[in-house]
Each structure stands twice: as C-alpha cells, then as structure tokens.
C-alpha cells in the first residue's frame, strides 16, 4: 500500500524525468530503470516516515495534530505492526482507542506509548531505512555527478525528517 500510495507517483516522476533527460523513449534503458527504482523506493520510505511522524511528530511542522491518524482509525503500518505483535489485552486496548470518536488526548498518548513499547515505531523506521538502502543501491548504477549527490541528499531527508 505504501508503494501504491506514494512510491508509484515518485517512480513515474523519476522515470519520466530520466527519459526526458536521456532523450529516450526506452523505459527499459538501464539508467531509466535505476532512477525509477530509486524514486519508487524513496516514495515508499517517505510514506512510511510520514506515518511515523503522524504518531510522534511535531504538530507545527506537520500541519496537522499528532495522533490524528489514531483518532481517525487509520490502519497505518505502525498500527498494523503493533496489532501484529501485541498480546490480546494490549491489542484490545489499542482497538478501543484507534478510531474511537470518544478517545481523549490521554487515550491517544497511551496509544502512542503502546506503539512505542511494542516496538512498532522502530520496526517501521527500520522498514523506511531498508527502502532507502534499496534506493541507494539503485542510485549506485547512475554515474556520480552533482545531480546524483542531490538525489542522495533527498533520499536521506526521506528518513531523517524531524520528529
């Protein structure tokens, strides 16, 4: 889902940009494939990081309240990972908060603590990092230049955005 939500958009932008820059219509050109893969992995990592920030980020920087995904009942990778590893009482408590219209700020804070205690935040952060590592592998197929260095910086930003 993370790929379909953001990765595919970034992949298309990378592919189109590479094809234009190389003046080719060959989607299978090795550099086109490398840039498209790089961008797809970055987009997926971006979405994973965005879901993390939605739980533990800075509301001012995000432009939305932290915990809003919990209140809205979104089944983000963070929430799904917590459900996967939680014991039954903890899972039941999370389910009583996630998407509950009557959930209070204290309930949301408790859910965030549970997500952290269950290791879901770390797992999803690790997943984002794995996608960036795949992106760097794809970018390694592109000749070094100031542009590839800019892309490296952009990829690092995907997983290093501030909480």
| Domain 2-160: homologous superfamily in CATH | Farnesyl Diphosphate Synthase (1.10.600.10)
Q: Tell me the C-alpha distance between 141 and 40, whole Å.
A: 15
Q: Tell me the C-alpha distance between 145 and 99, whole Å.
A: 47
Ramachandran quadrant class, 120 (left: phi over 0; alpha: psi -120 to 50; beta: rest): alpha
Residues of the chain with pLDDT under 70: 1-2, 59, 62-64, 162-163
Give the three-state DSSP class for 99. Answer: coil
pLDDT of residue 101: 86
> Residue 25 has which token pair?
């219509």
Positive or negative: CA dihedral 128, 65, 163, 106: negative
- The radius of gyration computed from the CA coordinates of the chain, to the nearest angstrom, equals 18
pLDDT of residue 56: 83
Q: What is the pTM of this model?
A: 0.86
pLDDT of residue 162: 64
């Amino acid at each position: 889902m993370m790929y379909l939500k953001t990765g595919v958009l970034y992949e298309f932008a990378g592919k189109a940009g590479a094809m234009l820059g190389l003046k080719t219509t060959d989607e299978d050109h090795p550099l086109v494939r490398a840039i498209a893969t790089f961008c797809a992995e970055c987009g997926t990592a971006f979405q994973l990081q965005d879901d993390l920030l939605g739980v533990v980020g800075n509301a001012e920087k995000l432009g939305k309240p932290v915990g809003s995904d919990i209140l809205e009942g979104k089944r983000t990778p963070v929430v799904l990972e917590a459900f996967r590893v939680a014991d039954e009482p903890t899972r039941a408590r999370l389910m009583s908060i996630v998407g509950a219209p009557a959930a209070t700020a204290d309930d949301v804070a408790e859910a965030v603590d549970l997500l952290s205690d269950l290791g879901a935040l770390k797992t999803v952060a690790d997943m984002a990092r794995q996608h960036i590592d795949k992106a760097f592998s794809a970018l390694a197929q592109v000749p070094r230049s100031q542009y590839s260095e800019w892309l490296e910086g952009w990829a690092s930003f995907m997983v290093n955005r501030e909480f």
